[in-house]
Chain A
Amino acid sequence: MTISVEGLHVGFRTDRPGVLDRVYDLLPPRWKPSDGVEVRRLYSVRVGGEGKHRGHRLYHVLYMNASRIEHSMDLEYILDRLEADVQLYVAERARRRIFVHSGVVGWQGKAILLPGRTLTGKTTLVTELLRLGATYYSDEYAALDPKRRVHPYARPLSVRRGATDPRPARQTAEEFGAEVGHKPLPVGLVAFTQYKPGVRWRPRGLTAGKGIISLLENAVPARSRPKACLATLRQVVSAARVLKGARGEAREMAKALLARVD
């Protein structure tokens, strides 16, 4: 199977057709089938399990082109790795967009960006914003174009179930009573925050320059395409408010954020 996404062609193959069906659920948003084209990247999943001999078990193996990138007895883990690798490949190599690690929601025709790496509380904040009526765009990446807009990258949200559970649960925006955005939105607000218990959100505005380098710190292709990153982030920051400050509980923060866009 070959797909086209963000101007890239990616191929997938496996020795078990049932596994290929599961790969569909792992693909980046807005992918399209593109059979018959040459691909630069081909993922192969070789399914292991019971071997020919009694008591003999084979690893499940994930290849990227000719390189073995993972092996495990746990097929779920192999599929997780496949998903993570494809997402990262697309985020780094997307032709016309700059992917920034960020939660994104829409509110009154503008986008709110919540940049930050994993474990900074992005998804928690996004879910609270959805409960307050915001439109879902992404809990992972802001796909930014040079026209100051952010495009939907609406995969199911990865909600952590607790400190001891290794796999996040996948929940759709609809489960939070929210709609999913389908059109690109101009960026209205960028908020850099990190959770600190008991803190009241009192953000300070960042200058354009500081806003750009703060976004660059979360940009996936920052090293491979710094010029394009700087140009796009400059456009984004020129039309948006950029705030920074520690936050307390997500619910209060979400209300305060929406009030800033009103």
Chain B
Amino acid sequence: MDIRDQTPKARTKGILVEELDDETLVYDLETHAAHCLNPAATLVWRRSDGHTTVRAMVPPLGEVGLPEEEALVWMALSRLDEAGLVEPVTLPGSKGGFSRKEVLRVLGATAAMTLLLPAVDSVVAPLAASAASCVSLAACVALPKTACGGLPICENRTNCCKRSGSKCVTTLAC
């Protein structure tokens, strides 16, 4: 099968979706990551219904001011795939081929177009304790490595809780 005849399918389970005017917010209830899809990524994601082919996603790109280039659909799918927002798709070539720089080079596009390229911005929602003013020494070393937060240690606020390798530790310099 031609990979352009694939019919990407957006993930529907375990997520919360907020649709804005031309962007989409997706909150992943499993990983607690929040994703913001820009207009181009939103366009591809909304068409990822399991019936629309990659080929058919190309013409609508004009709606968001982009040229009708297949590489842009692949770029969007690559970003959505990395964020875990579509079921796995087979991409042509390597993922590195869909960097902004590479896509702009291939399309001969202008720098102004960079803002329109498909993009998915992601953040990880904080643990409540990470949003506090300080964290106790015991709580710091028990935090997962992604949630050290750089917070002051409550026992001595000149020290902070920071990541070191695969764990959170206290450091002398905040």
Contact = CB atoms under 8 A, between A and B. Distances in A.
A230 B25 CA distance: 9
B157 A167 contact: yes
A88 B125 contact: no
B146 interface: no
A53 to B, nearest CB: 27
22 contacts: A72-B155, A80-B154, A81-B136, A84-B132, A84-B133, A87-B133, A88-B129, A117-B130, A118-B152, A165-B158, A166-B158, A207-B36, A208-B23, A210-B36, A210-B121, A212-B36, A213-B122, A218-B131, A219-B126, A222-B131, A223-B32, A224-B128
Contacts of B170: none
Given A88-B132, A118-B151, A212 B125 contact: no
Contacts of A77: 154-155
A213 B131 contact: no
Contacts of B38: 207, 209
Nearest to B35: A213
A223 B150 CA distance: 19
Given A158-B133, A234-B20, A213 B121 contact: yes
B34 interface: yes
B3 interface: no
Interface in A210-239: 210, 212-214, 216-224, 226-227, 230-231, 234
A42 B32 CA distance: 30
Interface in A151-191: 158, 163-168
B125 A217 contact: yes
Contacts of B16: 226-227, 230
Nearest to A101: B131
Contacts of A227: 16, 27
A130 interface: no
A223 B25 contact: no
A132 to B, nearest CB: 25
B133 A230 contact: no
Contacts, number: 119
Nearest to A99: B131
B126 A223 contact: yes
A173 B127 CA distance: 30
A119 B152 contact: yes
A214 B29 contact: no
B112 to A, nearest CB: 15
A212 B122 CA distance: 11
Contacts of A222: 32, 34, 125-126, 131
A45 to B, nearest CB: 16
Contacts of B1: none
Contacts of A70: 136
Nearest to A69: B136
B125 A209 contact: no
A209 B154 CA distance: 34
